[in-house]
Amino acid sequence: MRIVVVGAGLAGSEVVYHLAKKGFEIYLYEMRPKVQTEVHKTGYFAELVCSNSLKSESLENASGVLKAEMKLLDSLILKAANKYKVPAGKALAVDREKFSKEITNIIESFDNVHIIREEVKEIKPSEDEIWIVCSGPLTSEKLYLALKDLAGDFLYFFDAVSPIIAADSIDMEKVFVGDRYGIGKGDYLNCPLNEEQYEKLWEALVNAETIEVKDFEKKKLFERCMPIEEIARSGKDAMRYGPLKPVGLLDPRTGKEPYAVVQLRKDNLDGTMYNIVGFQTRLKWSEQRKVIRKIPGLENAEIVRYGVMHKNIYLDTPKILDEFLRLKKNKNIFFAGQITGVEGYLESAATGIYVAMNVSRILEGKEPLKFPEDTIIGGLISYITEKVIGNLRPMYANFGLFRISSTQKRKLDRKEIANISLKTLENFLKTTWGDVIESQCRSKD
Alpha-carbon distance of 444 to 427, in angstroms, equals: 13
Pick the more confident residue, 4 or 50. Answer: 4
Pick the more confident residue, 363 or 310. Answer: 363
pLDDT of residue 438: 43
* Least confident window among 29-43, 208-222, 412-426: 208-222
Mean of pLDDT over the chain:
88
| Confidence grade of residue 390 (pLDDT, cut at 50, 70, 90) | low
Alpha-carbon distance of 61 to 378, in angstroms, equals: 16
> Which contiguous run of DSSP H or E holds residue 137?
none
> Which contiguous run of DSSP H or E holds residue 130?
strand 129-133
pLDDT of residue 310: 73
Pick one of 3.50.50.60, 3.40.50.300, 3.30.70.20, 3.90.180.10 as the CATH number of 2-157+311-444.
3.50.50.60
Contact 151, 327 (CB under 8 A): yes
Alpha-carbon distance of 265 to 411, in angstroms, equals: 37
| Confidence grade of residue 445 (pLDDT, cut at 50, 70, 90) | very low
CATH of domain 164-307: 2.40.30.260
CA neighbor of 310 nearest in space, from 48, 38, 45, 35: 38
DSSP letter, residue 142: H
pLDDT of residue 153: 73
Domain ranges in the chain? 2-157+311-444, 164-307
Let me know if the fold of 2-157+311-444 is the same as that of 164-307.
no
Alpha-carbon distance of 146 to 123, in angstroms, equals: 7
- Note the pLDDT tens digit of each residue in 134-149: 987 778 888 888 988 8
| Confidence grade of residue 159 (pLDDT, cut at 50, 70, 90) | confident
At residue 427, what is the residue type? N
Does the structure show a pLDDT above 80 at 406? no
- Note the pLDDT tens digit of each residue in 226-275: 889 999 999 999 999 999 999 999 999 999 999 999 999 988 787 888 99
Question: Which residues lie below 8 Å from residue 400, measured CB to CB, with a gap of 6+?
Answer: none
pLDDT of residue 221: 57
* Least confident window among 69-83, 278-292, 361-375, 385-399: 385-399
- Note the pLDDT tens digit of each residue in 160-169: 788 999 998 9
